Structure 1
Amino acid sequence: MPHSVPPLTDIGPLPTASTVRTVVFSDFDETYLAHSGTPEQVRSRQALENYLEDAGERHGLLFGWVTGSSLSSVLGKARRHGLRFLPHFIACSLGTELHVISEAGIQPEPGWQRRMLTTGEHLEGLAEEAFRELRTRGVPLVPQSCRAPGSRVISYYYFAQDPERDARQLALIRRTADRLSLGVNLSRCNPAAGDPDDCYDVDFLPRDCGKRHIVEYICRLYAVSEADAFAFGDSGNDLEMLTAVGRGLLVGNCTEEARARYPQVSARSHADAILSELRGVLP
Structure 2
Amino acid sequence: MKRENVTHLLATDLDGTLVGEQEMTAFLLDYYKDRPYQVELVYVTGRHYASTMDLINDEKLPMPSVLISDVGTEMYDFNDPALHERWKKTLEEQWNPDAISRIVELCSGLMPQSIPSTHRLSYYAESDEAVEDVKRKLIDSSVPHKLIYSSGRDVDILPPNAGKGEALSFLIREKGWEEANILVAGDSGNDRDMLTLGYPSVIVGNCQEELKELPDHPMIFRAQRLCAGGIHEAWEHFFEKAAAVK
TM-score (norm 1): 0.73
Instruction: Tell me the percent identity.
Output: 24
Runs (4 or more) in structure 1 with deviation over 6 Å come to none
Q: CA deviation at 1:120?
A: 3.4
CA contact (8 A) 1:18 1:60 kept: no
2:32 to 43, 48, 52: 52
CA contact (8 A) 2:135 2:147 kept: no
Q: For residues 227 and 130 of structure 1, what CA distance do their matches in structure 2 show?
A: 42
- 1:274 is the counterpart of 2:231: yes
Q: For residues 202 and 20 of structure 1, what CA distance do their matches in structure 2 show?
A: 34
**How many residue pairs get matched?**
233
State the match for 2:18 in structure 1.
32
- 1:182 is the counterpart of 2:145: yes
Q: CA deviation at 1:280?
A: 3.4
Q: For residues 141 and 244 of structure 1, what CA distance do their matches in structure 2 show?
A: 30
**For 1:119, what is the secondary structure of its paired residue?**
helix
Relative to 1, partners in 2 of residues 1:252 and 1:180: Cα closer, same or farther, differing over 3 Å? same
2:127 to 149, 156, 160: 160
Q: For residues 206 and 226 of structure 1, what CA distance do their matches in structure 2 show?
A: 28
Q: For residues 272 and 118 of structure 1, what CA distance do their matches in structure 2 show?
A: 35
5+ residue gaps, structure 2, are 241-246
5+ residue gaps, structure 1, are 1-16, 35-40, 190-199
- 1:140 is the counterpart of 2:112: no
CA shift digits 1:27-77 (9 cap, x unpaired)? 01111111xxxxxx322111111223343xx44532211011011111112
Q: For residues 54 and 213 of structure 1, what CA distance do their matches in structure 2 show?
A: 31
CA contact (8 A) 2:96 2:143 kept: no
Q: For residues 217 and 204 of structure 1, what CA distance do their matches in structure 2 show?
A: 19
Q: CA deviation at 1:227?
A: 9.0
CA shift digits 1:191-242 (9 cap, x unpaired)? xxxxxxxxx2111122222111122112212323389522111101111010
State the match for 1:196 in structure 2.
none
Q: Which amino acid aligns with 1:75?
A: M
**For 1:24, what is the secondary structure of its paired residue?**
strand
- 1:72 is the counterpart of 2:72: no
CA contact (8 A) 1:59 1:282 kept: no
TM-score (norm 2): 0.82
State the match for 2:133 in structure 1.
169
CA contact (8 A) 1:250 1:265 kept: yes
Relative to 1, partners in 2 of residues 1:159 and 1:28: Cα closer, same or farther, differing over 3 Å? same
CA contact (8 A) 1:23 1:229 kept: yes
Q: For residues 65 and 166 of structure 2, what CA distance do their matches in structure 1 show?
A: 18
What are the equivalent positions in structure 2 for 1:196-275 lying under 5 Å apart?
200-225=153-178, 228-263=181-216, 264-275=221-232
Q: Which amino acid aligns with 1:142?
A: M
Relative to 1, partners in 2 of residues 1:236 and 1:252: Cα closer, same or farther, differing over 3 Å? same
Q: For residues 214 and 221 of structure 1, what CA distance do their matches in structure 2 show?
A: 10
2:68 to 83, 86, 91: 91
Q: For residues 217 and 210 of structure 1, what CA distance do their matches in structure 2 show?
A: 11
State the match for 1:23 in structure 2.
9
Q: Which amino acid aligns with 2:112?
A: P
State the match for 2:22 in structure 1.
42
Q: For residues 180 and 142 of structure 1, what CA distance do their matches in structure 2 show?
A: 21
**For 1:246, what is the secondary structure of its paired residue?**
coil
**For 1:267, what is the secondary structure of its paired residue?**
coil
CA contact (8 A) 2:75 2:83 kept: no
- CA RMSD, Structure 1 to Structure 2 (Å): 2.6
